[in-house]
Amino acid sequence: MKGFVGMVIGGMHSIPGAVAGALIVGLLETFSGAYISTFYSDAIMFTVLILVLFLKPNGIFARASGERV
């Protein structure tokens, strides 16, 4: 599940973006577990996922793809 979250955060059509998204998820989980609580680390990760989906639905590193008609 966490790998899928990393892929969605980075962008589904961008391999470097998916790797960066997985790195972001790993760092986010580690730091939230160390500084806040391990109980809330998954909730924080999914909250960041929801924020990314609201703000940039294609992912952080995805290019805008659309056809002009």
Sign of the four-CA dihedral 24, 25, 26, 29: positive
Distance CA 62, CA 15 (A): 10
**Stated pTM of the model:** 0.75
Q: Could you tell me if 28 and 48 are in contact, meaning their C-beta atoms sit under 8 angstroms apart? A: yes
Looking at residue 54, its pLDDT comes to 92
Mean pLDDT (10-residue bins), the chain, 69 residues: 84 84 89 87 88 86 68
Q: Could you tell me if 12 and 61 are in contact, meaning their C-beta atoms sit under 8 angstroms apart? A: no
